[in-house]
Chains A and B, each alone.
Chain A
Amino acid sequence: MTATLTLPTVESALRAEDAVLDVTVAAGDGFLGRVPAGGSFRIVDLHGNQAADTLFYDADDVTNRYSAMDTIREQRAAYLTAGSRLLSQDGDPLVTITADTCGRHDTLGGACAQESNVVRYGMHTRHQHACRETFLRYGAPAGIGARELGHNVNFFMNVPLTPDGGLSFADGLSAPGRYVEVRAERDVLVLISNCPQLNNPCNGWDPTPIRLLGWTA
């Protein structure tokens, strides 16, 4: 069914050879970085169908963090795509999606955790690696602890909603090389967990690396 979706895509004019940041995040690893106001930040799904669980923070106040609910309410739409302004819980724009060759991204599915894996899949998954572990490990140097973890973006993940109030995790809409790019509307911190989930299709059952590129204004 999802294969018939035609989603708008927007290419970026920025070139990889001009990037000031170019790193690859291994499967199941994480990233914390600062994007200055006006700078651009791209996440490339190198192998396709890899969920990049992402949180944004006002670099000067980690309490003023990305808010999924404020973002989707103000844009009156549940999915993120090019043009989406990602808002903080105080209603401040943190980043705007300026390019997107995937077409649609989830922000209602949350991140996996060892504890929620138990709920979803059973006690045998309690000690499997999970996004919340990565968020806490990489967030700590910036003062981001459990209280500062809000509800994240799942770039490249497909969580369709239905008019009767249903929600499910579906096969991804992404493919190798597709990317999403944001422009920082103020100095922001980007915290990423390259999702290690093995128990559902969000990573195509095989977590893979992502590439991160950054440009100054």
Chain B
Amino acid sequence: MTALLEHDVPGGAHWSLLLRAGRVLRLTALDDGAVCSTLLFAAGDPVDRLNVPDTLKAQMSARIRPPMVLMSDRGAALASVTGSSLDWHDCLTGHSLDGHVAEFGPTSYGTDRNDWRRSARSGLLSELRKHGRGPADLHACVNFFAKVAIGADGDLAHVPDHARAGDWVSLRAEQDLLVVLSTAPHPMSTAWAPGAVRAEVEAGAPYGPDDPSVTFRPESARALANAQAVLA
């Protein structure tokens, strides 16, 4: 399918886009170990946003994978994960803070120009502020392409290079969205090796009652129905 928009986000950078309902955002890792820490907002609502705990408990999962539905505070679908080459995208461990990046040594624009190392937090806040938003709008992100393994006792261990170049995930917008993302390394990563991510927007197609996200679980179907009812 021809992309309506194609944009490569370099590693360690940040970006945002407004995604129209029904369109599909396809993210592709261009480098091994790329990560895309992603926040989602309902574009037509001043406060509604991704709620990771609600998304997980409604679908009995501790990871993001197709055909899960990403749900908002209002119980409405924001996006459906329509496909992915990976069956595990981390959503438990947040995004990197300035303190994580400082562990890799001093950096500044003055010395490193556009290769200076910035945290995901720094980038996400920059994008949020461009949209008139700020720290109060932060929420648990999805770290597309990252995996944090869960041990039998609940211990958490980052899996380096979970994604290889070419791995992808596609998200169908279930209402108009603001998508805010950072390609800074995962906060548990022990190296600064940011990977680039390609973003492509495709037209998408209407879905029917046999759509995998509709049939996945009754909870997924109800969240999708709630999205249809956002604007009565």
Contact = CB atoms under 8 A, between A and B. Distances in A.
Interface of A: 63-64, 67-70, 72-73, 76-79, 89-91, 108-111, 113, 115-120, 122, 132, 145-151, 159-163, 165-169
Contacts of A79: 154
Given A113-B74, A115-B76, 4 more contacts: A63-B135, A64-B135, A68-B53, A119-B58
A136 to B, nearest CB: 11
A61 to B, nearest CB: 9
Contact of A72 (B51, B93, B149, B152): B93
Contacts of B150: 78, 161-163, 165
A147 B47 contact: yes
Interface of B: 47, 51-54, 56-58, 60-63, 65, 71, 73-76, 88, 92-94, 97, 99, 134-141, 148-157, 187-188, 219, 222-223, 226
B157 A76 contact: yes
Given A78-B156, A116-B75, A89 B138 contact: yes
Contacts of B99: 91
Nearest to A80: B154
Q: Which 10 A-B pairs have the closest CB atoms?
A: A110-B53, A115-B75, A69-B94, A78-B154, A165-B63, A73-B93, A147-B136, A167-B62, A119-B75, A146-B47
A119 B62 CA distance: 18
A150 B141 CA distance: 12
Given A67-B94, A76-B157, A115-B74, A167 B136 contact: no
Contacts of B157: 76
Given A119-B226, A151-B140, A69 B92 contact: yes
21 contacts: A68-B53, A73-B93, A73-B187, A77-B156, A78-B154, A110-B51, A110-B54, A113-B74, A113-B75, A115-B73, A115-B74, A115-B75, A120-B219, A151-B52, A162-B150, A163-B149, A163-B150, A165-B65, A167-B60, A167-B61, A167-B62
B188 A166 contact: no
A69 B219 CA distance: 24
A163 B63 CA distance: 11
